[in-house]
Amino acid sequence: MVKSTRTFSNLKSRRCDSFRQEPQSPVVLQFDIKGILVQKADSGRASNTDLEANMSEPQAERHTGIVNRSAPTATVVPVLVYEDVGKAIGWLCEAFGFSERLRAARPDGTIMHAQLSIGEGAVMLGAQGAEFRPPRSNEVNQYVLVHVEDADRHFEQAKRFGARIVHPPADMPFGERVYTAEDLAGHRWTFSQSIADVPPEHWGATQARSKH
């Protein structure tokens, strides 16, 4: 099994005073080529045995009331693959208005993972490897939709940073003003601004009926 080692660092967030203790060695996580955690080492204090023991704990005990600072709080988080994660972080923050939450790098400095935030949403970036590849030109099998306050202003900002505009801003019958662009790696993004409250049946949709 091919393994890679990543050291996690939070570059934007402040450390909580309640979690400050005596200085400790960095926590080093080892992943296989698919990005699956296979070992955690902290001066020899944690190993596969510790991870297996934690996994055997009851589900309710492990998750009740836990807020994990290493994970986004959004319920649904797209994970996008890039050839150069470090370059993608800077571009997405400048062009699309994201904020960096954290990044993870190999000992050689190569960034393998990042988390970005926007409003209440989040997106993860992963480095290419094995079956994970950036999108190919002229093919779309997924895209990310982000809600913004001003689609036209956001559109102008994206153009300034070289985003390829697929569809310029336009008003949709379902009450949204949207535009679509591709980022530096070819991922497709749609940005949407609510401009009216439109009943679903006015544009051909039907709301799901309550089961109760």
Do 88 and 161 meet the contact criterion of CB atoms below 8 Å apart?
no
Phi, psi of 153 (to 5 degrees): -65, -40
pLDDT tens, N- to C-terminus, the chain (212 residues): 444 444 444 444 433 343 344 444 455 555 554 454 545 555 444 444 444 444 444 454 455 578 888 999 898 999 999 999 999 999 999 999 999 999 999 999 999 999 999 999 999 999 999 889 999 888 888 899 999 999 999 999 999 999 999 999 999 999 999 999 999 999 999 999 999 999 989 888 887 887 66
What pLDDT was estimated at residue 4?
Answer: 46
Residue positions counted in the chain: 212
Please report the pLDDT score of residue 66 as a whole number.
Answer: 82
Two structure tokens written together for 206: 């039907």
pLDDT of residue 67: 83
- Count helices and strands (H / E) in the chain: 4, 11
Task: Provide the pLDDT for residue 190.
Answer: 96
Per-residue pLDDT, 30 = 55
pLDDT of amino acid 14: 35
Single-letter amino acid, residue 179: Y
Tokens of 17: 């005073």
- 76 DSSP assignment: S
- How far is the C-alpha of 51 from the C-alpha of 40, rounded, in Å? 8
Instruction: Please tell me the predicted confidence (pLDDT) of residue 56.
Output: 47
- For the chain, list the domains and their CATH numbers: 135-212 (3.30.720.110)
Cα–Cα distance measured from residue 99 to residue 54, given in angstroms and rounded to the nearest whole number:
32
Q: How far apart are CA 13 and CA 7, in angstroms?
A: 16
* Per-residue tokens: 166: 């697929």
Contact indicator for 125, 184 with CB cutoff of 8 Å: no
In the prediction, which pLDDT does 27 show? 52
N-terminal to C-terminal alpha carbon distance within the chain: 49
Amino acid 181: pLDDT: 97
Provide Rg for the chain, Cα atoms.
21
Q: Are 156 and 184 in contact (CB under 8 A)?
A: no
